[in-house]
Chain A
């Protein structure tokens, strides 16, 4: 069974950093693009960042560009999201998602259960 498990969320103060992780299982991790999608409280889904299967190309939404870095370690079937200079508006559930293909983002075939990030003083 294909499974994604996120970790690393928590409560941080504005301006601080956080690193999210996501371990994939049940599929050939390196063959698929991966993304992070978030949902702020009471809001809709927002794509954050994506990385191709081999990790050579990354894509990031304008709203977080320059503050987040997506990466992956295919030897450990793990996806990362490094978030810096966090703001209150970054408060959200962050979902790790498996792309249907190896290239640019979408469609998102499998979703993790999400990890909550709260930015507050």
Chain B
């Protein structure tokens, strides 16, 4: 099983700043990585797939990069509605989620 590790566990930033979230896969998965945003009481929302392709209606301030085993989600000009838990998911070999990064004000 491919293990996916996210860092940091919690990230505290201020509105208007840039947040950088990391995701590492235990094996080479090429570009087969997705990012999700999850707010309390809501269903998770797909943000990024294929490591860097934004899903429908996702604002341009969300960007993804990386390939192989190291991936990054960058959220620029943070807005109040961006504070949530973010998960990465590898789907290169079966599928597994990371443990999540909580983005706090």
**A residues at B contact (CB < 8 Å):** 35, 37, 44-47, 50, 59, 62, 95, 100, 104-114
Residues 55-105 (chain B) with a chain A CB within 8 angstroms = 55, 85, 87, 89-91, 94-100
User: At the interface with chain A, which of B10-18, B19-27, B38-46?
Assistant: B38-46
Contact indicator A111/B43 (Cβ below 8 Å): yes
Contact indicator A44/B94 (Cβ below 8 Å): no
* Interface residue? B7 (CB, 8 A): no
Given A95-B44, A104-B91, 5 other A-B residues pairs in contact with their CB atoms under 8 A: A44-B85, A46-B97, A47-B96, A50-B95, A107-B89
Contact indicator B1/A111 (Cβ below 8 Å): no
A-B contact count (CB 8 A): 59
Tell whether A47 pairs with B95 under 8 Å between CB atoms, given A100-B49, A107-B89, A109-B55.
Answer: yes
We find that the number of chain B residues with CB closer than 8 angstroms to chain A is 24
**B residues at A contact (CB < 8 Å):** 1, 32, 34, 36, 38, 43-46, 49-50, 55, 85, 87, 89-91, 94-100
Tell whether A104 pairs with B94 under 8 Å between CB atoms, given A62-B1, A95-B43, A111-B43.
Answer: yes
Closest-by-CB residue of A relative to B55 is: A109
A52 to B: closest C-beta gap in Å = 13
